[in-house]
Structure 1
């Protein structure tokens, strides 16, 4: 996660430390052990793959700097200090650094020991990657010019996880003290010494400037822009005028977060552990994407523009629906931005960073996001005819292959690369990488397309894509067995692969997924997990499993400790709470009439794998995906993306209220329970009336506000005897 300064939800600027230890990728710039080698203006948060950004940097140095091309990294003498809108580091050299920021500008405040000291501005500074996968970022040149009180310039960068081509950021920096001297530098890396952040790029071109001061306190204000140096200078002049105090920016950032987010969720809870988790997770889920409205260098548009989606594969299951609840205005902007990107780039994206699409890990999951927004009533200024055209293109047109070395079979940039198999034979053969996990996701994508088609009155399209959304069934091998159960999602072959057409002849252990990465049949989880993932067609899945009772036993086995040796961090369960494919699985008991077991297993995961300290998440934050899973658990609901359905869990709070804007609110109360031992639902009232279903809809409590009143207790009770949740494709 990024621990530095994010001055407002979805801010473009994320100002904080860059740490290197020459062995570990610092995805967000920060790792606990290593040397700080700069404080830069742009970062991601909570992502894997490979580091991105770490650009527009400053680094304080004691004395004059003879050679800015060598490593200037410093250890820290004490732990860093962070709060919303503020970050501080104390270096072994004796320099203290405080930073604060606004949406498009940042402030550095240096406290130097007596005597001469310098600030090095390294245009070529980026976050390095040590993984050896070819995803390291590159510096492709730029410009650097001195001004009367600082500098202006630009940097051109490329690559990173999404294999982006050249992109440019402009900057404009000022110092509040007159430098004793200032000079520019150019050159090439000279060494591969320990803690050299350019360890894998000896000889890389470098440039920047060195500013030397005879002052104990120096402040610097820096603006950035994707448009021009003039815009960068305008951003810093407007947002951080000369004379602005750092603490003013800190208070402003805290006000931004309170007004835009934190004060929308109020509770009577007094347990500091719970409160720390609640507000930390609200914060963590809103660091990405980046609102770059007015900073789009690629096309002219009056539409909003958001970047740094990393990725919808992580976010579509439960993050995007929570954005709609907590920030409906921003969420509508995000939906409009997605559609506008399609208008100008030709494709929706599953991931996007530095104004470039990629990578697509599975399906075209922006389709799911648009469908979810549509069925839950997002309208406003959204052009849904264009939205439908965008998702239909994903369903019908194969994107050109971008020849990604990690998965050369089809495009990883956008769209559905394995679409030829999907359309021609109705499943995905292992001629394509990630064949089975892609098939599950393509099925969900098609269901999403069908939902928008139905809403727009396109009945033939609706029927076509509902039918195609059932193609996941063609990957179901009823003969595959594991742990006493029959039937699992499996690779299905063609004659071209040397097997009998449509065969399942190649055996596959449902507890294994090979390297579980780009070239495997299953991506980032095992067949057991993916075999539960056709949520739009769950009742057909239950019938394939042998009926509701067998389905319940199968789910129980999924969460049983001691089964999967390679899952030691999670008690050797098959369930991996640190990866998104199993996010929904604890709640699937609701579809089999056992809401009590959904509560049991989801609460166990929440209490066992999450906490309010270090290692407080069970895996990568994944741009806030992990946080939103727990936030839904806290509220006692769980969304089914692309549907209006929310599965009922069990709330953590006696009373919590969510401001839905426009004078509407959702209030959730509970009596008789506690978070750790008495959390089974005994009864539920919806808007003051007794409720006997294990699900509710968007219209029940979100569209116009509403109220859920739970009675909780220690004993499991079969209270939900009403109709089961809907499964439209079954």
Structure 2
């Protein structure tokens, strides 16, 4: 390995397959940073394949659109081709194929080996994809076919009513099977994890060499289809399943068949323009792979560089950077719903997952796309009425807790994002979340209020200052609504809104769910359910089903009781004193404390976002050494390279961004300018902040056994605080110089981190 990777091809350190098994649900196929096309395999073994990939499944197709690290239900898996050894008597039959050997996944390249002997290689660009099929030598009565199935889609088998459906489409074969032949059309679909209504994607594809023959097909959409028409004509529009079977000469000269396919959400003409401009005739797979690697190097990976040579750490670093930039999707110019001069970003899964770690790092790594992203969120409000907490296929959906888009906007605002952002509209969008009850979308998972957007439990929040069990997820939403209102306050006060203080006061309402008598494991005081008669009995070590209609969503009362991160000094006062605060924090990480749990039976859950910030809270009592100890321990125990390398669902890169912050040695307090200090894993890091600014991080004395901070200099000055601010090192760049050692050192003798929502708080307690 070279002594420095600063000028090297950093994609060699990326493992696209990391997290694609074991519940990580990452996408291992071919994509560009934030690109529309995510070309990869669809496999099925009887259960949901959220990103299309199932390590135990059979190949059912290779489709152009996917997402990465999503849960709930699969999304996309459309615009598909499937190579088959024919002849195909019935194209509506199940034409799946087994895996002959392990797939090969690299940045910009994917290769699959089918049990039939066919090899599939994939490449692509932002809005077009490239298939290369190598067929085996076969007998004369076996044909080499490619099945283009408009009705192919990833479905769900969980029984929650979230399964996608093919609603209808069109396919047209242009110029028959001549050398300039191509096919074009569209498919319409619905549903998925965000319960989206009908949306349409257009496609345009061709083959080289030209097929020897083709036949369109049309049939019913049932599992046991009765063939209606095969061939069905050169231009078919139907709500029934439809597609084309292309047959290629069975001789040694046509062993390799390639196909170029473009997609668009506007028209077939735009799909054809996309493929012709991005993958012109004669483009090779090798050149596409090289261009994709260049894009990832230039736009993402080169933003963090090092001269360190620890191979494992380098691979974790660059693999994580890769996976955090697969989605959202930049669909600027491809929005069919409205015309706008603003950018448009889609496939946001979900800000409930991403606001703690992901979006803060997105701003640092890709400041220009990040500003576009903020503008897009505001523009969605202009045209839809609410910003999304989650959005896909041009539809808001899956708001799991609060209106956490507010947190993202506040974080951008306090860190100086201005540019072309209209912050007056941004604040208006946030005030919509804070004051307007969204219409109920009657989600069967929780029919009590909207799960599509906004704050569905706002009626209780405005009337009582807490949320009763009339609404699902009442306690966890109360904690999140408090954080959301603090976010509103941050922007409102910055823009001198007259009643900004109203939202600061509302941000303290999480306290109305704090029952000081609730007891667990010898500790008192937890956020619990309540109604107008008072607190409701709740074991802090249980959360019922932890699902949409329960008191808490995806985390225990123990976990949510730490999550009012804008008001930590109040929490410290509620727990009694720093000694109790310390003991209570350490209980989160005690094996056996949570006997019904997982992750070594501790309460802390490294695979879920409500636990992300908790190990950093030691900094609030100047025990930064414990922050370092626990974050490094969990990062090394639960993250690794390979298919099972994540502690849970990637959640669109949320898991990976938590690991990246641990490795960098900082952690963001979203909606604030505060960063909590950890311990970097590298001897040096250079983070490119854009416009000629850099953050230079160095460590001396570090090793696998020597990682406790002994001293720190910030911009050359000795530092005694366990935190710093955006202005200290990011606004204009800066330096962090760490000295590390094998034992804890008492270097954080200065003021503790701010607690900006706490009245008369010891804001910088000594």
TM-score normalised according to structure 1 size:
0.96
Once the 2 structures are TM-superposed, how far is the Cα of residue 448 of structure 1 from its aligned partner? 0.1
Deviates more, 1:144-153 or 1:313-322: 144-153
- Which one of 605, 618, 633 corresponds to residue 576 of structure 1? 605
Higher relative CO (CA 8 A, sep ≥ 6), structure 1 or 2? Answer: 2
Out of 219, 223, 248, the position equivalent to 1:213 is: 248
Provide the secondary structure at the position in 1 that maps to 2:465. coil
Deviation at 1:566, TM superposition (A): 2.8
Determine the C-alpha separation between the residues in 2 that align with 1:235 and 1:375: 38
Matched, 1:118 2:141: no
Is 595-604 or 683-692 further displaced after alignment?
595-604
Unaligned runs of 5+ in 2: 1-24, 176-180, 226-237, 759-766
Aligned pairs (5 A) from 1:223-302: 223-302=262-341
Matching residue of 2:118: 95
What secondary structure does 1:344 align onto?
helix
Aligned to 1:70: 93
User: Partner of 1:249: helix, strand, or coil?
Assistant: helix
2:392 pairs with 1:353: yes
How far, CA to CA, are the matches of 2:242 and 2:155 in structure 1? 17
Contact 1:450 1:461 (C-alpha < 8 Å) held by counterparts? no
TM alignment of 1:702-717, pairs within 5 A: 702-717=730-745
1:321 counterpart (335, 339, 360): 360
1:663 matched residue in structure 2:
692
Per-residue CA deviations over 1:272-323 (Å, capped at 9, x if unaligned) read 1111100000000000000001101010011110000010000000100101
1:681 and 2:692 are equivalent in the alignment: no
Does the alignment pair 1:468 with 2:506? yes
CA RMSD of aligned residues (A): 1.2
* CA displacement 1:632-653 (0-9 Å, x = unmatched): 0001100000000000011101
Residue 698 (structure 1) aligns with: 726
How far did residue 150 of structure 1 move? Answer: 2.5
Contact persistence 2:27–2:66 (CA under 8 A) = no
Distance in structure 2 (CA, Å) of the matches to 1:614 and 1:183: 39
TM-score (norm 2): 0.91
**SS of residue paired to 1:535:** coil
Q: Does 1:391 align with 2:430?
A: yes
Compute the displacement of 1:449 (Å).
0.2
Distance 1:28 1:281 in 2: 17
Equivalent pairs, count: 709
1:144 counterpart residue number: 171
SS in 1 for 2:374: helix
Mapped to 2, the partners of 1:3 and 1:622 lie a distance apart of 11
User: Does the aligned pair in 1 maintain the 2:489–2:500 contact within 8 Å?
Assistant: yes
- CA offsets per residue over residues 564-610 of structure 1, 9 Å max, x none? 12323x11000001000010000001111211111111111111111
* Cα distance, 1:190 vs structure 2: 5.4
Distance in 2 (CA, whole Å) between partners of 1:461 and 1:619 is 42
Displacement of 1:6 in angstroms is 3.7
- Tell me the residue number matched to 1:15: 39
User: 1:222-266 CA distances to partner (integer Å, 9 max, x unpaired)?
Assistant: 000000000000000000011110111000000000011111211
**Contact 1:364/1:416 (<8 A) preserved:** yes
How far apart are the structure 2 equivalents of 1:178 and 1:605? Answer: 54
* Deviations 1:683-715, CA, capped at 9 Å, x for gaps: 000000100000000011111100000011111
Rounded Cα–Cα distance in structure 1 between residues aligned with 2:461 and 2:697: 43
* C-alpha distance in 2 between matches for 1:585 and 1:54: 36
Residue aligning to 1:86: 109
Residues 99-178 of structure 1 mapped to structure 2, 5 A cutoff: 99-115=122-138, 116-148=143-175, 149-178=181-210
1:563 aligns with 593
Alignment match, 1:199: none
Secondary structure of residue in 1 paired with 2:426: helix
CA distance change for structure 1 residues 573 and 2 in 2, over 3 Å: closer, same or farther?
closer
- Mind listing any 5+ residue stretches in structure 1 that lack a counterpart? 194-202, 495-500
Q: Distance in 1 between matches of 2:591 and 2:157?
A: 34
1:184 aligns with 2:203: no
CA distance in 1, matches of 2:471, 2:155: 31
Q: Secondary structure at the match of 1:77?
A: strand
Alignment partner, residue 528 of structure 1: 558
SS of residue matched to 1:707: strand
1:644 aligns with: 673
Structure 1 residue 4, shift from structure 2 partner: 3.7
Contact 1:69 1:190 in 2 (8 A): no
In the other structure, the counterpart of 2:619 is 590
Per-residue deviation at 1:509?
A: 0.6
